[in-house]
Amino acid sequence: MKLISNVEKSLLLTAAGAFALFAIGGVLTTVVPPMVDQSLWRSEFPVHEYTEQEKRGIEIYKREGCVYCHTQQIRHLASDQRRYGWRMVDAAVSESWEYVNDKEHFLGTKRTGPDLARVGGKYSSEWHWAHFKDPRNMGEKFPDRKGIYEKASIMPSFAYLSDEEIKDLTAYLQTLGRNKDWRVDKDGNPLNDYEK
């Protein structure tokens, strides 16, 4: 009790005590994880190096705040893997080494729109173009986007981006999720016919 009453009389002891208790958890959860788990910052597998154009795309993705509605992580959950898979192939779970070249991480916290971790190559660049221009009316070329999409999609239109900017952004999107080669059918044949 003497100690406690001394602490309550002393600015130094209160401040030092509050800092010391905080520092234990602070160090163990920020500095120690990358030391223990090296896959947080380096990869044994090849990881895509971004081109200049893709880097410009990343800047646009950041500036336009895409991350506030779109996460970029397939979690260790069957529902995530199935929903963000392709042609009955489950999407591969996202692993930490896949992100080591991301100077800006876009793991995200909220899915107002679908996850984008494995979106690369799923839609043609022409599709993205029409979608950025007007998510609720993509024109006659994409008849499967009629109906509920016109009514229920709440994505903002990014028609104010220049053509160049949309191209850069699309170039970045097309890289997403390709560090793992997961798009193969049951016999191991690549399912890359959708790329244009």
Partner 1 sequence: MKQDTAAKTAIIASCFYFGLALTMGLLTALKFIVPTVGEIEYLSMPRVRMLHTNINLFGWLLQANIGILFWILPRILHTKLFSEKLGVATGILYNLTVLGGFACILLGKVKNVEYGEIPPPFDYLIAVCWLLFAINVFGTVATRKVKYLYVTVWYTLGAVIWTTFVFITGNMFSQMPMVTGVNQANLIWFYVHNAVGLIFTPLGVAIAYYLIPKQLDTPIYSHKLSMVGFWVISFVYVWTGAHHMLHGPVSHWLQTVAIIFSFSLIIPVMAVITNFFGTFATAPKSIRMKGPVPKLLMMGTVYYIFTCLQGPFQAIRSVNEIVSKTDWVVGHAHMALFGAFSYYAMAGVYYIAPRLAGRRLYSEKLGDLQFWIMTLASIPFFAVLWISGVVQGYAWLNPENTFVATLAAIRHAHIMRFSTGGLIFAAYFLFLYNVLQTFFGKYPEEVEAAEAAAVSE
Among residue numbers 79 through 138, which ones bind partner 1 (CB under 8 A)? Answer: 79-80, 82-83, 93-96, 98-114, 135-136
Enumerate the β-bridge partners of residue 184.
190
CB of 157 to partner 1, least distance (A): 6
Stretch that binds partner 1, among 49-57, 76-84, 125-133, 177-185 (CB under 8 A): 76-84
Question: What's the rounded Cα separation, in Å, for the pair 127 and 170?
Answer: 10
CB of 154 to partner 1, least distance (A): 4
Q: Does 75 bind partner 1 (CB under 8 A)?
A: yes
C-beta of residue 171 within 8 angstroms of C-beta of residue 51: yes
Closest Cα to residue 15, out of 89, 46, 159, 23? 23
Nearer to partner 1, 88 or 188 (CB): 88
Distance of CA 3 to the CA centre of its chain: 50
Nearer to partner 1, 21 or 184 (CB): 21
Residues contacting residue 155 through CB under 8 Å, at least 6 positions apart: 69, 113, 131, 135
Q: Does 14 bind partner 1 (CB under 8 A)?
A: yes
Question: What's the rounded Cα separation, in Å, for the pair 20 and 93?
Answer: 38
Nearer to partner 1, 57 or 135 (CB): 135
C-beta of residue 121 within 8 angstroms of C-beta of residue 195: yes
Residue among 45, 51, 65, 164 that touches partner 1 (CB under 8 A): 65
Residue among 160, 188, 190, 193 that touches partner 1 (CB under 8 A): 160
Binders in 16-45 for partner 1, by CB under 8 A:
17-19, 21-26, 28-30, 33-34, 36-37, 40-41
Question: What's the rounded Cα separation, in Å, for the pair 175 and 58?
Answer: 11
Stretch that binds partner 1, among 12-20, 123-131, 174-182, 183-191 (CB under 8 A): 12-20
Question: What's the rounded Cα separation, in Å, for the pair 55 and 168?
Answer: 8
Question: What's the rounded Cα separation, in Å, for the pair 132 and 114?
Answer: 15
Nearer to partner 1, 52 or 159 (CB): 159
Stretch that binds partner 1, among 119-127, 147-155, 170-178, 184-192 (CB under 8 A): 147-155
